[in-house]
Structure 1
Amino acid sequence: MKPFIPVVRALIRGDDGVLILKRSRDSATNPSMWELPGGKPDGGETLDEALSREVHEETGLEIRPMHVLGAFEQVFPEKVSVNIIFSTEFRGDVPKISSEHEDWCWFRGGEMDFSPWLREFKNKNPWLFEHPRPR
């Protein structure tokens, strides 16, 4: 049986859409695919602590996790990644991406080369990606 690896992800909705990041082309998982910011918890971290840390490392933004929106698996040869998506509030302006990613954008709709778990999440929750954040 493959181990389940938790990964926390932030749905960051700005005035211009949802923040998505493009993985580096030399990434071991989902190279050159678009995803939500986030990553794996370090030992002893809660999920919300991990999410805040990962988003800050990847984008420079400060967030506050609000609610779990869903969880979606992606099966790899050696593991199953369980992506837990949180709604968030954020502070900051223009993201400053880390070396793990090669691009970012505020996504409002259309087709892009999404990671498999994000494609599934978007297809089940299209309204989250089609409207700017509530005021």
Structure 2
Amino acid sequence: MRVSCLYPTFTSMLWVTCAVIRNSQHQILAVQRSEKMRMPLKWEFPGGKVEAGETEEEALIREIQEELGLNIQVEKRMQPVHHDYGDLAICLVPFWARTRAVAPILMEHTAYRWMPPELLPDLDWAAADIPIVRQIQEAKAWLF
């Protein structure tokens, strides 16, 4: 279901999902964008574009497998974030997810960190991911 994101007045809107992936130690996975990517070296929650015919969950599972080689269990949809980067507007739909894997295989990103939720604000996040960091901080009780 595609709700909660306002559509911009121009057509370059991208519908994207991301995963707030937790491991068995209740740490959250953050990945750093490569120097070649848009917003180089910014941190983000992994995910990607929803393709035609895919549900948000299907897109997320596919993207995490392609980018990180991880199998995830999608759990709960979070509040979507609309962000306008000027030349591109996105609707970023985050999901809580779990994995048993320890180390992702970085196909596109430069680095990753498993972090306790309280340390997430210390990273230099991509602008659209900052509201998700806030949602995690507010939902901390749900994590445990």
The two structures share one fold, judged by TM-score above 0.5: yes
User: What is the aligned-residue RMSD (CA, Å)?
Assistant: 2.1
Unaligned runs of 5+ in 2: 1-8
Matched, 1:112 2:123: yes
Q: Contact 1:16–1:106 at 8 Å: present in 2 too?
A: no
TM-score, normalised via structure 1 length: 0.85
Return the alpha-carbon distance in structure 2 between the equivalents of residues 91 and 125 of structure 1. 20
Displaced runs of 4 or more, over 4 A: none
Q: Which residue of 1 aligns with 2:6?
A: none
SS of the counterpart of 2:87?
coil
- The amino acid of 1:107's aligned partner reads M
Give the deviation of 1:16 after TM superposition: 5.5
Q: How many residue pairs align between the two structures?
A: 131
Unaligned runs of 5+ in 1: none
Structure with the larger strand share: 1
Structure with the larger helix share: 2
Q: Tell me the alpha carbon deviations over residues 7-34 of structure 1, each in whole angstroms, 9 at most, x when there is no partner.
A: 0000101116100100011212x21100
- The amino acid of 1:2's aligned partner reads F
- The amino acid of 2:56's aligned partner reads L
Return the alpha-carbon distance in structure 1 between the equivalents of residues 19 and 31 of structure 2. 11
Give the deviation of 1:61 after TM superposition: 0.8
Q: Which residue of 1 aligns with 2:82?
A: 73
Q: Percent identity?
A: 26
Give the deviation of 1:117 after TM superposition: 1.6
Matched, 1:125 2:136: yes
Return the alpha-carbon distance in structure 2 between the equivalents of residues 127 and 72 of structure 1. 15
Q: Which residue of 2 aligns with 1:23?
A: 33
Question: Which has the larger displacement, 102-111 or 116-125?
Answer: 116-125
SS of the counterpart of 1:43?
coil
